[in-house]
Structures are given as structure tokens and as C-alpha cells.
A and B are shown apart, each in its own frame.
Chain A
Amino acid sequence: MTDKTMTADEVVARLWSGMTLGIGGWGSRRKPMALVRALLRSPVTDLTVVSCGGPDVGLLAAAGRIARLVTPFVTLDSIPLEPRYRAARERGSFALTEIDEAMFLWGLHAAANRLPFLPVRAGIGSDVMRVNPELRTVVSPYADGEEFVAAPALRMDAALVHLNRADRLGNAQYLGPDPYFDDLFCEAADASYVSCERLVDGFTGAVPQTLLVSRVSVTGVVETPNGAHFTSCAPDHGRDEAFQTMYATTPWDEFAERFLHGDEESYQEAVQVWHEERPR
């Protein structure tokens, strides 16, 4: 059996500038933030990022690593608008493929099923069609003759996801309430990297439905305790709301200088120090 464990830096060494990169999670929930931070330490840039966006998009946008973003939204959940993303968009820093959530979901399904598209009743009538002139519609070949948007497959070169537990082979388990689209991201990408709160020896005795990601679609596994920080990773840890608020209100250079210049260990230390020092 292949041991797929590696470090976050080893994951990033397998990524390249100009690639299409999927990032799992949803908004400010269970984002593979340790892998994103590792990416920020690398020279990899010019990315097409596919994400239900949260601070993953905010950080990469602020650091100028995104060439194109494919997304239905970017949010910090408890803070509705992601300030780094907003600033980058208002500067016109990168291209945007803005699609509806259903188009996003069925685009992932299409890619996972090796189909060029799947039909969705979404998009027509809206300006999603205006801002994505490459979108096409299909007409049902059956008696109804209805017209649908052909949601294009969201095929990716690689995907990054964060789950609660994983084994060394790449099987991964979520313990929170929502799988988000993480299994689909892994199935829709040529290579997938799973970071996890904790590595386990196996899943004997686990509730089978929690085993979301199969090793068949996983290339590498990284143990990154608190690796979704500051997004939520229920039930291991909630969102670090105080830290998120600070992230959203601190000038980017100042934030990057204090938190993003060292490795993951120094990031986690810096977070701890920040919590100890902050007034309550």
C-alpha cells in the first residue's frame, strides 16, 4: 500500500504557475488554509482558482497569485464581504468567471464524470450569460424541448481540501455537518491533496457515511493540526472569529508581515501570541 503522506511544502512543490487549482471548503468553512499558506510561501502564481470562495481566495488575491477566479461568491460568512477579494476585484487585478452555485456544483459533477457539461436550469435570464459569453445552452432532445445552460465541466489540474481525519493511504473523513463539495473537487482534479487535523491508522468502527474522500482520488496527505485556521473545522475547532475580524481590518502588508513570513509552525505560534496579547 502506498503511503501518501507528505509535507505541505512537498504538496506545493507539485503545483506550478499557470495551473488550474481547486480549493475545497465553503466560504470561511473548512478551508485548507495550511496548504494555502504553503502556497503563499512558494513562487507559484498565475493561477486559475476554482473555489466557493472564502479567505483562501482573499489571501491568494491579496498576494497577487490569481490570474482567473471561477466562483459563485466570496465571503467570510460572519463577515459577509471578503475585504481582500473586494479590494483586488475593485483594482481589476484578475479575470473572473462568475457562475451560479448550481452551475458550479454540476460543473464539478460533470468533471468527476468525465462529461463536457451537465444541463442546469440556471443562468438563462441572468447576467451570468452576459459576463460569460462562452456559455452555451442545450435543448432537451425529449418531447419537452426545454432549453438549459450546459454547465461546463470544472476540470482541474489539482485540488486542495481539508478534512478532519485521514489515513496514510488517502482515505479521508469529515466529522462536521456538511461535506461541502470536497469529494467532488478530488474526483474532478487530476491530482488531489488532502490536509487533515489528524492522521489515523485506519477507520475501523467509523460511521461509513463520514468517509467522504476515497484514496482512489487522492495523491497526497498532509497532517496539519489547526490547518483550517482561521476558518471553521467542526467539530475539531470553530472559526476563530476574533482573528478573522483582525484579518479583515488590518492592512494587508501588516497582516502578511506578522503572520505569513514564516512556516506553518511559526504561523500557529504567531496566532497564539496574538490571542495572548489582544485586549479582551
Chain B
Amino acid sequence: MKEPPMGVSRAEYCVIACAEAWRDNGEVLASPMGPIPSLGARLARLTFSPDLLLTDGEALLVDADGGLEGWLPYRRHLTMVTGGRRHVMMGASQLDRHGNQNISCIGPWEQPARQLLGVRGAPSNTLNNPVSYWIPRHSPRVFVERVDMVCGVGYDRAAAAGPSATRFHRIPRVVSDLGVFDFDTPDRSMRLVSLHPGVTVARVREATGFELTAGADTPFTRPPTATELRLIREILDPDGVRDRHVGAA
């Protein structure tokens, strides 16, 4: 394993790992939910994915300089979803081995122990456009054997639901504060792709509530280039918001 460079924070590795989700996506809407995915999407557009579309967080499409370039109110945003020209990175209160996601409630749905947001657009997102996930605190409470309410559809549930569910279903990656994951295994279960420097496979296993596919020779998440690091620190996040959302290594 190659030694990672010094001085790059865990949060900066997370930004890079999120940005990589949008590599080679072409001219699609990047929909990052939360500050770290948002930094990642903007970094991707400024560097290796210049054709991405991004919103101002509400109904306007804005270019890299913040200039107006389009109008995307919710109803058109939903058509962007079903038309498939979008890659969203959502959060998850729970995420299971096959990528089923829950943002609705914890405990029995009929009378939950903790009511959360609701399904939002997760059921349509997952059936129509690529959906990645960002988990700021990797723990067995989030990475569970079975989610309490399937909002975002995982690989096993999509397969069971049939061809109209699988036709456009894809979960390209999951990024957490510990590493990067995908579902590129024979049974479409979660696999460790890379570790953020300072993290061990054992640490990830300990923080994951299900059996995770992970090789002994798992590489580290790639470090940012000098240009990327400058963009993150000086242009995109000079106030260091990223460090308030990801703990130190």
C-alpha cells in the first residue's frame, strides 16, 4: 500500500471521494445532499467533470461562477429524476448490505420510536437515476443488517420487484467518513473499495452491522492533487465548513 501524503484532513479525503462519484458522468445534474457531497460536486465540476449541472440549493441552475444558467423548480427537478439525467448523492439514516436506504423512521412504521423526514423522493430516485450515498459517521446504527423502512431501493429489492425496477437502478458508490464502498460483488452486496488514510479494515468491520466484503490489500482513497486541495481550501470552503461535518482522523 502506498503511503498517503501528510497534511490532508479526513474531511478533504471525503470531499475527494464524493467528487469521484461524478467522474465521467457527462452532462447531468449533480444533486448533492449535504455539505460534503456539495463540496465534492462543485470540485468535480471545477476539475474533471466540467459539464455537470448544479443548482443553488433551490430552483436555480448556476454555473461555476454562481451565474444563472437555468430554472429547475421541484416539478422539473422530478422530471430530471425520471428522465435519468441526474446523479444524486443522498444521506441515509440506515443503509443495509444491499443498499436499501431509510430516511423515514426508526422502529415500527405504524408508530415509530423516531420519526425522521419521510421517504421524500428516494423510491423514485433509486428506480430512475444513479443514487450514491454519503454517511458522515460510519457506525453499526447506520450500516444495519436490515433497514426499518425501505425508502431508497437496494439491489436485492429492485431485483425482486422486476425489470421495471432494475431497468435504470444503480448505486454507484457509498462514501463514509471511513472509506468508499460499492456493490460490485456477485450477489450485489456491499464491498469496501478504499480506506481513507488512517482507517483499517478492522475498524470498518467494527463499525458495520453486516458482513462486508473487504480484501486484505484494500487501497487508500486517492489523495487530492495540489490543484484540488487549493480549490477546496481557498475557493470552495475557505471557512472550513468541511471540518465541522467530518471528525478528525
Contact = CB atoms under 8 A, between A and B. Distances in A.
A105 B78 CA distance: 9
Contacts of A92: 110-111
B122 A89 contact: no
Contacts of B126: 125-126
B160 interface: yes
A122 B104 CA distance: 16
B163 A146 contact: yes
Interface residues of A, number: 41
Interface residues of B, number: 47
A180 B81 CA distance: 16
B188 to A, nearest CB: 13
Contacts of A178: 58-59, 73-74
A21 interface: no
B74 A90 contact: no
Interface stretch (A70-78, A153-161, A216-224): A70-78
Contacts, number: 134
B160 A125 contact: yes
A81 interface: yes
Given A122-B127, A125-B153, A90 B112 contact: yes
B215 interface: no
Contacts of A85: 115
Nearest to A209: B71
B124 A124 contact: no
Contacts of A99: 119
B219 to A, nearest CB: 32
B127 A121 contact: yes
Interface of A: 26, 53, 71-75, 80-81, 85-86, 89-92, 98-103, 105, 120-128, 130-131, 146-148, 177-181
Interface of B: 58-60, 71, 73-75, 78, 81-82, 104-105, 109-124, 126-128, 149-153, 157-158, 160-165, 167-169
